[in-house]
Amino acid sequence: MVYSNVVTIIATIVAWLIIGGLVLIKHKKLQDKPKLWKVILIVIVGMFSFTINLNFQGVSMRIPILPLGVLLLMFAFRNKGESWQKYRIYAWIGFLGQFIFILTSLLTIPVNSVLYPEEELSTYIANTHNANIIQTHPSGEEYSLNKEILSKQIKSMKQESVYSEQWYQELTVNPDSTKVNERFPYVVIDTLPKWGSGFEGLIYLEKDGKGLLVSTAAGQYYFRGEVSVLMEEQR
């Protein structure tokens, strides 16, 4: 959905905390305590594995197929059978860590859809304090943005379908008129998305001032409101 935002960062931190927690628990139980820095090194090497990348619902994950790190350590310890008994568990904790990362990544999906619903405009526009529009096509008028109206409509604007082919055809099949009207001749700038959403994208404004086309890495969302956010240029 979104590649790097607050939720994915927290998920990564939580995964590391769980791994660290497992290591500490194991470490405390043992009477003959192995050196901590060795343990940490072994855990990290144990994480190293042959993985395949998979994309599920916009979340990219690395599924481990072969515990290369663990095998490497087994080979390194082949003549020191006794200490391998001590350290073995940490290597496997490292390998387990990869699965913990997958689990927390998967959990980001429902959390993201609750915190940053992609079908709601408020995810993409939360603050209009410095908002403005730039005209990106000559068929627009020299209007400016009415921030108050935009701000008031954020909650009420409804998501509608994007008819990409239809909109494209409507405009290009017009050979005799020299002036082509672009449906979205403005881009909204300097709005702030919901904090932590990680939204990066373009927000186009429709010619009548009532439609917003939000382009994100995950797809496009089109919202329509009742009142135009355009107003005559204030001089």
Partner 1 sequence: MTKKKIQVILLSGVILVALFLIYWFYFSKPTDFPSDQQLAKEINQIFPKADVDTIQDTIILDSEHVFVPFVSSNEEYGSSYWTWEKHKWKPVYINTVGDPLVWRIDSKDPSSSFIVWNIHPRDNVNYMRFYMIRDRGYHISYGIHTYIPQIQMEKQLSLKEQGYGVLKLPIEWGNFLTRANRLAKAQNPNVTFNSLLPDASVYIGWMPYNSDDELVFPENSVNGHGFINGDIETDFVRLLNEIDLE
Interface of this chain with partner 1, residues 25 to 54, rule: CB under 8 A: none
Strands 186-189 and 132-135: antiparallel
- x/- mask, partner 1, residues 186-215, rule CB under 8 A, reads -x-x----------xxx-x--------x-x
Interface of this chain with partner 1, residues 75 to 134, rule: CB under 8 A: 134
CB of 147 to partner 1, least distance (A): 17
Binding of partner 1 at residue 3 (CB under 8 A)?
yes
Angle (CA) 51 96 8, round 5°: 75
Q: What's the rounded Cα separation, in Å, for the pair 76 and 79? A: 8
Residue closest to 55 by CA, chosen among 113, 5, 105: 105
Q: What's the rounded Cα separation, in Å, for the pair 101 and 64? A: 11
Residue selected from 36, 85, 164, 195 as contacting partner 1 according to rule CB under 8 A: 164
Binding of partner 1 at residue 135 (CB under 8 A)?
yes
CB of 64 to partner 1, least distance (A): 20
Q: Contact region for partner 1 (CB under 8 A) — 68-76, 111-119, 146-154, 177-185?
A: 177-185
Residues sharing a CB contact under 8 Å with residue 173, sequence separation 6 or more, in sequence order: none
Instruction: Give Cα 178 to chain centroid, integer Å.
Output: 42
Binding of partner 1 at residue 220 (CB under 8 A)?
yes
Strands 219-224 and 158-160: antiparallel
Token code pair at residue 96? 């387990």
Binding of partner 1 at residue 183 (CB under 8 A)?
yes
Binding of partner 1 at residue 57 (CB under 8 A)?
no
CB of 69 to partner 1, least distance (A): 24
DSSP designation for 209: S
Applying CB under 8 A, what is the total number of residues that bind partner 1? 34
Strands 230-232 and 143-145: antiparallel
Q: What's the rounded Cα separation, in Å, for the pair 125 and 192? A: 6
Binding of partner 1 at residue 162 (CB under 8 A)?
yes
Binding of partner 1 at residue 67 (CB under 8 A)?
no
Residues engaged in binding partner 1 (CB under 8 A): 3, 134-139, 161-165, 167-168, 171-172, 179-180, 182-185, 187, 189, 200-202, 204, 213, 215-217, 219-220
